[in-house]
Amino acid sequence: MVPVDQTDWINFNVATPQVDFGAEGSLLTDLKGNTIPVTVADSAKASKALLLHLHNADTKRAQVLDIVSGNTGKPKSN
């Protein structure tokens, strides 16, 4: 059997998300220079986003970004 990661439960209200990407679909074009619009409900709370790059190499498909104030995110240090 394959091991599975496990996390604690989190509170989430789909009607009032902490982070909203405002996208009409769930796929965005992953090209250099493109941006993703993001709205943060409460900038005092720490927020993260999981980006899945569908066409990257196996070890580089998932990327976690800290959502920071301003207009850019920064990759999480591993």
Residue 11 included in any domain: no
Give the pLDDT confidence score for residue 12 in this predicted structure: 84
Give the pLDDT confidence score for residue 61 in this predicted structure: 85
Mind listing the pLDDT tens digit for each residue in 2-15? 778 888 888 888 88
Residue 8 included in any domain: no
Mind listing the pLDDT tens digit for each residue in 20-47? 887 667 777 778 888 777 888 888 888 8
Q: What is the domain extent for residue 42?
A: 19-75
Mind listing the pLDDT tens digit for each residue in 42-73? 888 888 888 888 887 777 888 888 887 655 55
What is the number of domains present in the chain?
Answer: 1
13 three-state secondary structure: coil
Of 30, 32, 63, 64, the closest CA to residue 47 belongs to: 64
Q: What mean pLDDT, rounded, does the chain reach?
A: 79
Residue 5 included in any domain: no
